[in-house]
DNA sequence: GTCTATAGGACGATAGAC
DNA sequence: GTCTATCGTCCTATAGAC
């Protein structure tokens, strides 16, 4: 813990990010001071400014990192799959929706703090930073909306408005964050199955 | 605006609550100062303490008021309805779910600021205050869960876990707050209909 | 019931020694 | 790269005049 003097290149940068992530999620960006973050890492407040120009940049960097990871992880999951699969087009669009549902739940439950911040601290971003994050979020929503639109075209789904359905499905899935605790009475796979049942039925024709 | 001197009993109390509600929703509890609230009302910061013992109590009072109103409004809607309705028990449980869905959307869209605060500022409540609000929230969730359980018993709904389904439905409905703006391309009634379609299908047998 | 004034402390960020 | 020290500002809450 508490350093005394001199250079300890170390891995202070990542530890600052980890501490900020945890504290921002717990108490909120505005309620957390740079001194608190420094204390969690075991350095003095001034030292933080070797790693971030200011508090706002630290928040933005955490949120941007999270959204980029999310998009990349979904890409990675989809890519090997581009090779045409067996089965009907109808089955395929259902499989894509199931893959998205399970991916979303698993990815988000693995990083509750980052998810919390990405949704709760939007209003504490500067205007430019907000625009950037919103654009990444929209990109992710489009991934789901594309699936829903394909399903509607094939007659597999009945959806009055695909944009609203997209947001409704994501909102429902995000709800899992408010109650799920690993080690609870339900396994991750059971949780995924329950939500997949509801999601699938909610958009079915 | 800015008063100069003397007594103006007025309706300062409600105006303080309204200003705090708006500012807390906009910037977050921790980011809003008593000075900002006072300035919005047109008084000096010290005057606020004639109406609240401290900032924390002001937040709690706003959240408690909102939750109490919510529960009361749902009670009021249900009470006249206790008189047995015509139709089968199966139809009746569906009608109750539809009533809840439409009520929830309408009530929440009418007070976006209060809803926002009730969900986002839980972590800024003191321990005791948090417990009190959580208890009110659970009471509201139980209203929905009762309907779902009745539907399962009648074979109208197929729900692996009524507690999870309760939270999933509420999460989905709350999602409407993130995008709906009155005067947009969809009327309130159309929005209710779209969500009712999805909710109903998601729990159907 | 509101004002002015202020106590007492925490804040973000910077400067300069090591 | 981290420390100590500090600047200038803002904060919650209180005291006392009117």
Q: Which residue's CA shows the smallest distance to C1' of C10?
A: A33
pLDDT of residue B3: 44
Mean pLDDT across A136-159: 98
pLDDT of residue A139: 98
pLDDT of residue B87: 87
Q: How far apart are CA B164 and CA B27, in angstroms?
A: 31
Question: Which of these, A156, A168, A195, lies nearest to B194 by C-alpha position?
Answer: A168
Give the residue extent of every domain in chain A: 1-52, 54-203
Q: How far apart are CA B205 and CA B191, in angstroms?
A: 24
Superfamily of domain B53-203: Tetracycline Repressor, domain 2 (1.10.357.10)
| Of A39-43, A88-92, B115-119, B137-141, the least confident | A88-92
Report whether pLDDT(A3) > 70. no
Verify if strand C has an atom below 7 Å from the CB of B14: no
Mean pLDDT across B132-155: 98
Q: How far apart are CA B79 and CA B74, in angstroms?
A: 9
C1’ D9 / CA B34, Å: 16
Report whether pLDDT(A86) > 80. no
**The domains spanning A1-52 and A54-203 adopt the same CATH topology:** no
- The pLDDT confidence band at residue A84, using thresholds 50, 70 and 90, is low
Q: Which residue has the tokens 């008063």?
A: B3
pLDDT of residue A167: 98
Kindly determine whether residue B197 and residue A31, on different chains, have CB atoms separated by under 8 Å: no
- The pLDDT confidence band at residue A7, using thresholds 50, 70 and 90, is low
Question: Which of these, A66, A79, A60, A192, lies nearest to A137 by C-alpha position?
Answer: A66
Report whether pLDDT(A1) > 90. no
Q: Do A140 and A71 meet the contact criterion of CB atoms below 8 Å apart?
A: yes
Mean pLDDT across B55-72: 98
- The pLDDT confidence band at residue A169, using thresholds 50, 70 and 90, is very high
Spatial CB neighbours of A27, under 8 Å, sequence gap ≥ 6: B30, B123, B124
pLDDT of residue A79: 79
Phi, then psi, of B51 in degrees rounded to 5: -120, -20
Q: Sign (positive/negative) of CA torsion A119, A123, A125, A129?
A: positive
| Of A58-62, B8-12, B26-30, B63-67, the least confident | B8-12
Alpha carbon distances (Å) from A197 to A102, A141, A173, A193, B1? 11, 20, 12, 6, 56
Q: Do A199 and B160 meet the contact criterion of CB atoms below 8 Å apart?
A: no
Q: Across the interface, which of A123, A178, A201 has its CB nearest the CB of B204?
A: A201
C1’ C3 / CA B2, Å: 11
Question: Which of these, A165, A149, A162, A139, lies nearest to A96 by C-alpha position?
Answer: A149
Is residue A2 helix, strand or coil?
coil
Nucleotide nearest to B49 (CA to C1'): D13
Kindly determine whether residue A194 and residue B123, on different chains, have CB atoms separated by under 8 Å: no
| Of A34-38, A158-162, A199-203, B5-9, the least confident | B5-9
Nucleotides of C under 7 A from a protein CB: 1-6, 10-16, 18
Q: Which residue has the tokens 């717990």?
A: A26
- The pLDDT confidence band at residue A129, using thresholds 50, 70 and 90, is very high
Q: How far apart are CA B50 and CA B187, in angstroms?
A: 42
Spatial CB neighbours of A159, under 8 Å, sequence gap ≥ 6: A148, A151, A152, A165, A203
Residues in A touching B178 (Cβ below 8 Å): 167, 171
Look up the CATH number of domain A1-52. Answer: 1.10.10.60
- The pLDDT confidence band at residue B84, using thresholds 50, 70 and 90, is low
Question: Which of these, A2, A21, A47, lies nearest to A116 by C-alpha position?
Answer: A21
Report whether pLDDT(B119) > 50. yes
Residues in A touching B164 (Cβ below 8 Å): 179, 186, 191, 194
The tens digit of pLDDT for each residue in B156-185 reads: 999 999 999 999 999 999 999 999 998 899
Mean pLDDT across A129-146: 98
C1’ C4 / CA B6, Å: 13
Kindly determine whether residue B198 and residue A203, on different chains, have CB atoms separated by under 8 Å: yes
Fold of A54-203: Tetracycline Repressor; domain 2 (1.10.357)
Q: How far apart are CA B41 and CA B17, in angstroms?
A: 9
- The pLDDT confidence band at residue A91, using thresholds 50, 70 and 90, is very high
Q: With 0-12 CB in 10 A as exposed, 13-18 as middle and 19+ as buried, what is B76?
A: exposed
Tell me what the pLDDT averaged over chain B comes to: 94
More confident residue, B8 or A53: A53
Q: Which residue has the tokens 């991916």?
A: A103
The tens digit of pLDDT for each residue in A36-57 reads: 999 999 999 999 999 999 999 9
Mean pLDDT across B83-104: 90
C1’ D11 / CA B119, Å: 25
| DSSP sequence for A174-202 | HGGGGT--TTSSS-HHHHHHHHHHHHHHH
Tell me what the pLDDT averaged over chain A comes to: 94
């Amino acid at each position: 813990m508490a350093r005394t003097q001199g250079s300890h290149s170390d891995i202070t940068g990542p530890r600052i990010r980890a501490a900020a992530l945890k504290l921002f999620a717990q108490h909120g960006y505005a309620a957390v001071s740079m001194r608190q973050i420094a204390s969690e890492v075991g350095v003095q407040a001034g030292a933080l400014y070797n790693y971030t120009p200011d508090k706002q940049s630290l928040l933005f960097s955490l949120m941007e990192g999270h959204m980029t990871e999310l998009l990349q992880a979904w890409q990675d999951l989809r890519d090997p799959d581009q090779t045409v699969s067996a089965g009907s087009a109808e089955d395929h669009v259902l499989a894509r929706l199931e893959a998205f549902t399970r991916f979303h739940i698993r990815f988000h439950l693995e990083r509750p703090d980052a998810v919390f911040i990405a949704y709760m601290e939007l209003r504490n971003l500067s205007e430019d930073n907000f625009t950037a994050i919103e654009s990444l979020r929209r990109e992710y929503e489009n991934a789901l909306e594309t699936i829903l639109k394909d399903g509607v075209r094939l007659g597999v789904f009945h959806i009055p408005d695909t944009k609203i359905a997209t947001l409704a499905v994501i909102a429902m899935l995000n709800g899992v964050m408010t109650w799920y605790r690993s080690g609870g009475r339900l396994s991750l796979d059971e949780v995924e199955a329950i939500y997949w049942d509801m999601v699938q039925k909610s958009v079915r024709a």
